[in-house]
Chains A and B, each alone.
Chain A
């Protein structure tokens, strides 16, 4: 491993910028993501910063069951994020549509049809600790040695 790669690994492990996008959820997962900011969970002690700006993000948290309003927009948001990047599906909705996925619905799950998803956190809604754990696992598995593995 080159010196540059080692420095990048070290720096990147403590600096993950997060944006979240709600593509049609019930709000339950949104507020659990917000609860991660609370001093009890304190997401910033792991070097994770929530800015909600796709252009400076590394991780995109996708919440919700993909409504028609997001048809081209979600892919546009995903393209705006610079590489290396990863998307995490939060909650049951982006995985399966949960209980909104019935006859007569407007939604089009799963979200992994539309953008590549690196990790999925099931739950309706998942606890803040589980969301935190998912972001940390993506940090280690996706961003570690990224340049060496993607020449």
Chain B
């Protein structure tokens, strides 16, 4: 079929709004966008190829560096998959500490995503407030794990270091402060008339389209689909986890779902800290041969590792499925189509929070 295209507009790979290189080729008819294709391939390092044949001690650090923004969840899913293979039990205190680290990481990732969105719609003030709040979350992450990014906190059979009593008290106090600040910033976003003009009704992703594109994470939950791998995780089930959804399906909903999830993460950390069991944080165990497919909920959606290891704990076969692949598909082929202006393309693309480093590995 012949398509009438007025102008082809390439965006990227270097673009003021994109954190990472990706190229969007937009087909516009007048101002209306009728088609978008994404061109990837700027970040392909071949991590899965490097991982094969290496001991788990090395693969653990490589897995963390699949994505620098959500490094804790890659660490968590890889280590829990190795624990499933080898039948290693985790002490209850370590299981709670893992949840704390994971939720702090989710908070900083969501705040960064919302900062990017605010920066893209040129609301720089709110963006800077959120980035400042993110620095406080990074401080807490550093206090708990010893590093800001790529902290390698989770190891088979537990976590690397314990949380002292005074550190737990400091964490609780700063959660209190952050929650107050975040409530104010969320109110600014929710009630801002200009933000509503730029965000409400832009980039609609219907539940049917989300299922067709297999959207996951906050992108799917903003379309009213309650998918969240944390519902199947034993520690989260103890904490009474229920996913956050919103029915309104647009850019505004996707950002608000992330704000809601930050509040939810604060609640989960608080619950972990109030009844933190006593005991050791490092158990015992040896990684052995086996094969497993294991999923966890990354800040952007479902993350799956398929691992086959040999008797010495070396990785023979590994496949990683990251959430951004599906979300970029949903974004380019469902959300952006029919946008009223080229300015909405970047905003819609950023609202799906694509992570190119994850996607290409």
Contact = CB atoms under 8 A, between A and B. Distances in A.
B312 interface: no
Nearest to A51: B16
B149 A67 contact: no
Interface in A1-39: 19, 21-32, 34-35, 37-39
Given A65-B45, A105-B45, A39 B50 contact: no
Interface stretch (A68-76, A134-142, A143-151): A68-76
B42 A70 contact: yes
A23 B356 CA distance: 12
Contact of A127 (B15, B61, B148): B148
A124 interface: yes
Contacts of B66: 26
A104 to B, nearest CB: 4
B176 interface: no
Interface in A90-145: 99-100, 102-107, 124-125, 127
B46 interface: yes
B65 A99 contact: yes
Contacts of A104: 46, 49-50, 52
Contacts of B172: none
Contacts of B112: 31, 34
Given A52-B15, A106-B46, A28 B20 contact: no
Nearest to A127: B148
Contacts of A107: 45-46
B42 A52 contact: no
B338 interface: no
B65 A69 contact: no
A27 B13 contact: no
Contact of B20 (A22, A53, A100, A105): A22
B170 interface: no
Interface residues of A, number: 42
A149 to B, nearest CB: 30
B45 A31 contact: no
Interface of B is mostly: loop
B138 interface: yes
B135 A35 contact: yes
B174 to A, nearest CB: 14
Contacts of B135: 35, 38, 40
Listed residue (B45, B131, B134) with the most chain A CB atoms within 10 angstroms of its CB: B45
Contacts of B149: 28, 31-32, 125
A21 B128 CA distance: 22
Contact of B131 (A37, A65, A127): A37
Given A31-B149, A100-B47, A25 B42 contact: no
Contacts of B290: none
Contacts of B52: 104
Interface string B121-149: 00000001001101100100000000011
Nearest to A41: B135
A25 B66 CA distance: 9
Contact of B65 (A22, A26, A103): A26
Contact of B14 (A37, A54, A99, A124): A54
Interface in B3-55: 13-16, 19-21, 41-47, 49-50, 52
Contacts of B150: 26, 28, 124-125
Given A35-B135, A105-B50, A21 B19 contact: no
A39 B133 CA distance: 10
Listed residue (B20, B71, B149) with the most chain A CB atoms within 10 angstroms of its CB: B149
Contacts of B43: 22, 24-25, 64, 67, 69
Given A24-B43, A25-B357, A35-B135, A30 B50 contact: no
Contact of B132 (A40, A70, A102): A40
B16 A26 contact: no
A91 to B, nearest CB: 10
A22 B5 CA distance: 31
A134 B184 CA distance: 35
Nearest to B61: A99
Given A19-B14, A77-B14, A102-B50, 14 more contacts: A22-B19, A25-B43, A28-B65, A28-B68, A30-B20, A31-B112, A40-B132, A67-B42, A67-B43, A99-B58, A100-B62, A100-B65, A104-B46, A106-B45
